Amino acid sequence: MDKISHIKQIISEINRLHRDFSNDYFETGKIEKINLSRTFQHVPVSHIYRYRLTLHESINDYLMTAQIDIKYFYRVKTRESIDDKIARFSNHEDQYPVNNWLNDIFGVRIILTTDEIKSVMDLLDDWQDELCLKNWYLRDKAGYRGLHIYFKNRNNFFFPWELQIWDIEDMQSNIQNHEKFKRNFISLCAKPRHS
């Protein structure tokens, strides 16, 4: 199997895992289904936290079944990072649907070459329909560059997942960017409280 086929395989498998986990979580009748295409005022934060905790506790059970033949990294967003994102987006004058900005509670990252990324980008429009992807875009700003692909299985009750594809040439600058901007909440959480 060539590298592009492996990349399609990981995209397909992340989409399958997203669908399987989301169906197991939301379609059992144990959890209230809330339409995430609504703004934050209509989505209780407890709904977000419960989803994140369940995902954190069970994601490895799902990943063990994945047919993935390419090196990848993953993370479940921390509650502090979710709180930071909620605070930032709650203050926007224009309110966006929750599933447009809280689209990375679960994230996977792979590192490719420039040519491999170009090949993937040439195929993504076709894969978007074939694999039921939410959307994709190339983010290139403030010292960060990465191809972002989102999964929601055409369901507004499922929290989207994210795949970031980084160019190996951008890896160090992307890591520095994450340390500078994405981990800002850590310094805020570390400040001692005064009585």
pLDDT tens for residues 86-141?
998 888 778 899 999 999 999 999 999 999 999 999 999 999 989 989 999 999 99
Mean pLDDT of 76-90: 93
* Residue 183 reports pLDDT greater than 60: no
For residue 125, the model assigns a pLDDT of: 93
Round the average pLDDT of the chain to a whole number and report it.
91
Q: What is the pTM of this model?
A: 0.88
For residue 90, the model assigns a pLDDT of: 85
For residue 94, the model assigns a pLDDT of: 83
19 phi/psi in degrees, rounded to 5: -60, -45
Three-state SS string over the chain comes to CCHHHHHHHHHHHHHHHHHHHHHHHHCCCCCCCCCCCCCHHHCCHHHHHHHHHHHHHHHHHHHCCCCCCCCCEEEECCHHHHHHHHHHHHCCCCCCCHHHHCCCCEEEEEEECHHHHHHHHHHHHHHHHHCCEEEEEEEEECCEEEEEEEECCCCCCCCCEEEEEEEHHHHHHHHHHHHHHHCHHHHHHHCCCCC
